[in-house]
Amino acid sequence: MKLKVIVHEAEEGGFWAEVPAIPGCATQGDSFDELLKNLYEAVEGCLSVDITPPKDGDNARILEIAV
């Protein structure tokens, strides 16, 4: 999966970034390398969803796919 990220220089130093395709997904870092590390964690956290398992007798299935 490829995502566009907007990187900003923070006024107090360091960087912050936002992921427009994922509302509310943003992070920061004191260095660019730290920002990149934090971006991977932020995107993973924003995309992870807790799913309640289907009830017994329900024909629903839970699938995990990679995009």
Q: Is 0.75 surpassed by the pTM of this model?
A: no
CATH code of residue 28: 3.30.160.250
Count of structural domains within the chain: 1
Torsion of the alpha carbons at 18, 21, 22 and 23, rounded to the nearest 10: 80
In this structure, are strands 26-29 and 6-9 parallel, antiparallel, or unpaired? unpaired
Is the distance from CB of 13 to CB of 30 less than 8 angstroms?
yes
- Give the domain range for residue 44: 1-67
pLDDT in tens, 45-57: 998 866 676 676 7
CA gap 54, 34 in Å, rounded? 39
pLDDT tier, 67 (very low <50, low <70, confident <90, very high otherwise)? low
Helix (H) or strand (E) holding 7: strand 6-9
**For residue range 12-56, what is the model confidence (pLDDT) as tens digits?**
999 999 999 999 999 999 999 999 999 999 999 998 866 676 676
